Structure 1
Amino acid sequence: MSSSIPRSAAVAAVVSAALAAGLLGGASASADDVTTGAAPVRIHDIQGTTRVSPLAGKPVTGVTGIVTGVRTYGSRGFWMQDPQADENPATSEGIFVFTSSVPTVAVGDSVSVNGSVTEYVPGGLNSGNQSLTQISKPVVTVLSQGNPVPAPVTIWAGSVPRAYAPEGDPAAGGSINGLTLDPEAYALDYYESLEGTNVRVGTSRVVGATDPYSELWVSVKPFENPNLRGGTVYGSYDSQNTGRLQIQQLAPIAQQPFPKANVGDWLVGRTEGPLDFNQFGGYTLVANTLGKHVDLGLEREVTDKQHKNELAVATYNVENLDPTDPQEKFDALAKAVVENLASPDVVALEEIQDDNGAKNDGTVTAGATLKKFTEAIVAAGGPAYEWRSIDPQNGKDGGEPGGNIRQVFLFNPARVSFVDRPGGDATTATAVTGTKGDAHLTLSPGRIDPANTAWENSRKPLAGEFLFRGRTVIVVANHFGSKGGDESIVSHHQPPARSSEVKRLLQGQAVNAFVKDVLALDKQADVLVLGDINDFEFSGTTKALTDGGALYPAVKSLPRSERYSYVYQGNSQVLDQILTSPGVHHFEYDSVHINAEFADQNSDHDPQVLRFRP
């Protein structure tokens, strides 16, 4: 979704209620506050030395400044800045004036504003987001025109502190809202001290590709956790990559098309404009002037072809694939399987939708989706894959309403056999059977523990038994619960609340228990657990999966700079994984970067491939 959204009346009401309750600081204020009778104040008096204005909820009059930016779409309004700064680095000299309708001022106007100071929380109070200090319901007087805009503050590697954020105040529920800003110590404090201010970045590397909403991410710290392809790797909860900054553009796209940039490209020269705060990226430079895009020609990776005695197993989230998608998407995904993934022997697919996609009419079968996809693979020169899956119960597995996403095994019957053991359905659990040293599945394909509440409204793991050169290989395809509901890393709670981890932790424990059942019969069994785990290699979820040494996250076999499958807000990070049991020796692992770093994506995930000799 776009970062520039209208401030709805509903959100305004929530924030007003919060002000009345003292949750955001300041005095109680009604919608009918008058804007007369208050002493004139300066912008830095409104911004104050914490994240919440000391004047929140109060009327102000005669607030003067020079207009530095005008936004005529989305959240309409303008930024203004006091050219006479105080000597306190914690107080911003700029502020956003929310006009609701298209502003009538222009950059360079000297204005005087009466209005009410409010704290707008993008996403609402329950999002945990920081608030944006603004003047609402303004009465604007233009004093003069054509004034020079205050010189921008340059944001560069040396100005942004290495530490990300202070620890939240335990007495305030872990919030940093009431803490005095220390812009020389913490990156979030530094950016907050510039909220609404005219800022500039120089030549900067792109670390998050242009999205459909004409936004991209740069880093002013080119040597902060870099990878060879130009990204910035997110390697731990304590490594927040402080140099990242989102870039938007104020000028209408028709006048200056927004650059279509990939990770590793550069914005050369100056990018300049007010520093905003929004729901979908936090601190954002809304550019009046945009640097020149330099395309460095990032190429999509191609993995090695497996040897004849190697089994190649891949996982690929194909992003809500269904027959209503254009043939071009099927063709592009198929080409990636054949050319970039070198036609793996087994491919675990996530987000295969039912035969009519998001239409919510009770359809749960996905044969039409898979037929169209496998035919596209053949047309691209790939093998005639067969598939195995289990249809979910309607509306029980989460994802896009009506889509009934599920995991699916594709396999090349010329290279590997699927061991069919009937009886598996949406609600029946597969189990482990066999004798010492010879473990098998009771149902293949079968679901793991589908009645477990850990899988409520979430995809249930799909287990399958394969034979390769006479050796049994058990593969478990997963799509764990999403991160929806988590607070962002720019939350006013530090550390932010990650509520979605609770479900994934339980899911990881359930899969780990199943793998331990296999290993109890055969400690050298070849087991691969793979899919969209929706969590990092250092997360509690991964620790639950690996408990007791049952599994190893194969992505950790890569150098730290190469561990990523997804790019979010300029952070290259791990979401997709393949984990191996102790019996899987001497494997090769590849995170094949073909999507996440590119403005043109066939999926937002990069596929993963593992090759080994069972």
Structure 2
Amino acid sequence: MPHIPTPRVPRTAAVGAVVATALAAGLLVVSSSAASADEVGIHDVQGATRVSPLAGQQVKDVAGIVTGVRGYGSKGFWIQSADGSADADPATSEAVFVFTGSAALTVQTGDAVRVSGTVGEYVPGGAASGNQSLTQITKPTVTVESSGNPLPAPVTIDAKSVPAAYAPTGDPAQGGSINALPLKPRSYALDLYESLEGMNVRVGSSRVVGATDAYNELWVTVKKNENRNRRGGTVYGSYDAQNGGRLQIQQLAPVSEQPFPKADVGDVLRGGAEGPLDFNQFGGYTVVARELGKIDGKGLTREKTRRQAKGELAVATYNVENLDPTDPQKKFDALAGAVVANLSSPDIVALEEIQDDNGAKNDGTVSAEATLKKFTDAIVAAGGPRYAWRSVDPENNKDGGEPGGNIRQVFLYNPERVSFTERAPGDATTPTEVVRKGGRAALSHSPGRVDPKNAAWADSRKPLAGEFTFRGRTVFVIANHFGSKGGDEGLTSHHQPPVRSSEAKRLLQAQAVNGFVKDIRKVQRNADVVVLGDINDFEFSAATKALEDGGALRSAARSLPKSERYSYVYQGNSQVLDQILTSPGVGDADDFSYDSVHINAEFAEQNSDHDPQVLRFRP
């Protein structure tokens, strides 16, 4: 399923409740000083850690120049000290967000103001998200002293100013939090950004590493050589390669007044962006551009993989993103066209996120026959083969995903090239087992589900296993859609390293699939086994290592150069989520051809948010 956090909601006026929750969770540090918080400077409000030493206190007549006004979503404005560096401490920001909520905005950019109100710490996404907090002044009383003032000069964020190290290690005594640690902006990228929270910043002309999305956002990098790949992206190659040069770009003007530019990965935001540096739930540090450059398109093209040779079996995996008959025909046509033109009509295609025949309508329907007929008809119309299909319908609302949608994995196969071995098709709850037939491994149910009653698959898609025959040779294919990353903390979490709670479930799922592959190989050591799908995890993850345990499988992603290992782009990081793993019987990298076919993830216009994968080998 799409690797996207929970739906966006605007900041509400109930900041006090959020602050109370954050205090209870230990996210905020409130000053124990008895000194008066009256007539303080912005740097006093911000302090030299991630949370204000004045959180929960009243402040009076905080002076600053308005550098940006936001009249939608989280309404309010940013103020900054007129000279931009009032206390000469690089750890303390000289700007702060003034949250007005539903109150009318009565200031303009360039106004010199004094603000009185309550210092608060807002945690985007709530305390349980693990996100850092945004210091702000709430319930404000604002006095405008003059207008038309020059804005404080922007701080330039570039490759030289952003440290190579991403974040300090969290304090074990504080549960791994970095909230109370003194900021070291010359040592860590996250500390630099926090020291500039709310300030007027500028990035110069920068390469786009995350395409424009549906929320009118894109990602750029200020470090042009940081883990760059040949198509212009920035590769996330390990848990220690967070790519600190990435920044999200939004614009201050509403799109109704100023359309947001459309950009693909590799394009250049010519002229860069200038505006306040915000922190939000869906990307962390974000330049909210008051001034925004133009997109210099570099013409990124969608890849096409080669056609398999006569003696090669081509097996693919493709997450088609909640496909159901209520989707417009153009989505079916686009996905089908990609199967034919970009994937060169593989012999077997494992599909993820095929929904039932009425999509999200939650009425007990579980059949996906109409969905699959519409899709396979579209493939024929695009000039492809007449694929047959095999699957096992899930129990209603037992496999996660969109409620009522009943997503599942499905095998498409070209009967002109490959045959499916039907063996007492299984059902949603009956496991397929490995049996011996004629001295060779076989499945008790084909198609069948792998260990469907295992608690690892609760509210998650169960693996689909099938036996295929190609040129007289049996190939076992196991299609997967592991549990999502929902609930994991982001890279900008106040816990460092971030808590990745979803990994525990995928680890158990991987162990179950690995055990099934080992069962096949116990009966037939040289069996050809292909495990594939949306693994929802990286090629270096614990889940992948568990799949590979004991030499049962090997991720084909590692046959690619490191810069080519990605199928998804999230917050400007190109990363692996979709994988194909092979048993030793398939051979090593010299015996197969593997391709991550980049047709979606890098583009503003997408038919799915995942790139498909293709493996070609000679069984």
Q: TM-score range by the shorter chain?
A: over 0.9
Which residue does the alignment assign to 2:70? Answer: 71
Distance 1:436 1:505 in 2: 34
- State the 1:251 CA deviation: 1.3
Q: Is contact 2:12–2:101 with CA below 8 Å preserved after alignment?
A: no
Q: Distance in 2 between matches of 1:4 and 1:362?
A: 28
Q: Within 5 A, what are the aligned runs for 1:231-380?
A: 231-380=233-382
Tell me the equivalent position of 1:33: none
Alpha carbon RMSD of aligned pairs, Å?
1.6
User: What's the secondary structure of 1:19's corresponding residue?
Assistant: helix
CA distance in 1, matches of 2:385, 2:14: 54
Distance (Å, rounded) in 1 between the aligned partners of 2:25 and 2:532: 47
CA distance in 2, matches of 1:10, 1:516: 54
Q: Distance in 2 between matches of 1:15 and 1:415?
A: 62
Distance, in Å, in 2 between the alignment partners of 1:523 and 1:557 is 22
Q: How much does 1:270 deviate?
A: 3.4
Correspondence 1:594 to 2:599? yes
Matching residue of 1:34: none
State whether residues 27 and 127 of structure 2, in contact with CA within 8 Å, keep that contact through their aligned partners in structure 1: no
Deviations 1:199-238 (A, max 9, x none): 0000100000000010000000010000000000000000
Q: Tell me which amino acid in the other structure corresponds to 1:100.
A: G
- Where does the alignment leave 5 or more consecutive residues of structure 1 unmatched? 29-36
Matched, 1:143 2:145: yes
Partners of 2:170 and 2:496 within 8 A in 1: yes
Q: CA deviation at 1:255?
A: 3.1
User: Which residue in the other structure is 2:571 paired with?
Assistant: 569
Distance 2:395 2:13 in 1: 38
**Cα distance in structure 1, aligned partners of 2:270 and 2:439:** 61
CA distance in 2, matches of 1:206, 1:20: 39
**Among 496, 499, 510, the residue aligned to 1:497:** 499
Match of 1:13 in 2: 17
Residues 178-214 of structure 1 show CA distances to partners (whole Å, capped at 9, x for unaligned) of: 0000000000000000000000000100000000010
Change (3 A) 1:20 1:363: closer
Q: Which moved more, 1:142-151 or 1:437-446?
A: 437-446
Runs of 4+, deviation exceeding 3 Å: 1-5, 9-12, 17-23
Q: Secondary structure at 1:415's aligned position in 2? A: coil
TM-score of the two chains, using structure 2 as the length reference:
0.96
Give, in whole Å, the separation in 2 of the partners of 1:128 and 1:329.
Answer: 36
The aligned residue for residue 226 of structure 1 is 228
Q: Determine the structure 2 residue equivalent to 1:80.
A: 79
Q: Given that residues 2 and 280 in structure 1 are in contact (C-alpha distance below 8 angstroms), is that contact kept between their aligned partners in structure 2?
A: no
Q: Post-superposition shift, 1:293?
A: 0.6
Deviation, structure 1 residue 14: 3.4
- Show the 5 A alignment for 1:91-490: 91-101=92-102, 102-434=104-436, 438-490=440-492
Structure 1 residue 256: deviation in Å?
A: 2.5
Offset at residue 20 of structure 1 (A): 6.6
* Separation of aligned partners in 2, 1:437 and 1:134: 71
Q: Indicate if the aligned counterparts of 1:68 and 1:273 stay in contact, CA closer than 8 A.
A: yes
- Secondary structure of the structure 2 residue equivalent to 1:108: coil
CA distance, structure 1, for counterparts of residue 182 and residue 166 of structure 2: 15
Whole-angstrom CA distance in 1 between matches of 2:303 and 2:16: 47
How big is the shift at 1:19? 3.2
Q: Distance in 1 between matches of 2:121 and 2:61?
A: 19
Check 1:47–1:323 CA distance in 2 against 1; reply closer, same or farther (3 A cut). same
Matched, 1:56 2:35: no
Contact 1:4/1:75 (8 A) holds in 2: no
C-alpha distance in structure 2 between counterparts of 1:81 and 1:261, whole Å: 31
SS state of the match for residue 61, structure 1?
Answer: strand
Change (3 A) 1:171 1:520: same
For the residue of structure 2 that corresponds to 1:231, the secondary structure is: coil
Could you tell me how far 1:8 is from its partner in structure 2? 2.4
**Matched letter for residue 97 of structure 1:** V
Map 1:575-590; keep pairs closer than 5 Å: 575-585=577-587, 586-590=591-595
Q: What 5-or-longer segments of structure 2 have no aligned partner? A: none
Q: How far apart are residue 523 of structure 1 and its match?
A: 1.3
Question: Do 1:277 and 1:283's aligned partners in 2 also have CA atoms closer than 8 Å?
Answer: yes
For 1:22 and 1:440, locate their aligned partners in 2 and report how far apart those are by CA, in whole Å: 55
Distance 1:234 1:151 in 2: 33
Q: How has the CA–CA distance of structure 1 residues 2 and 320 changed in structure 2, closer, same or farther, with 3 Å as cutoff?
A: closer
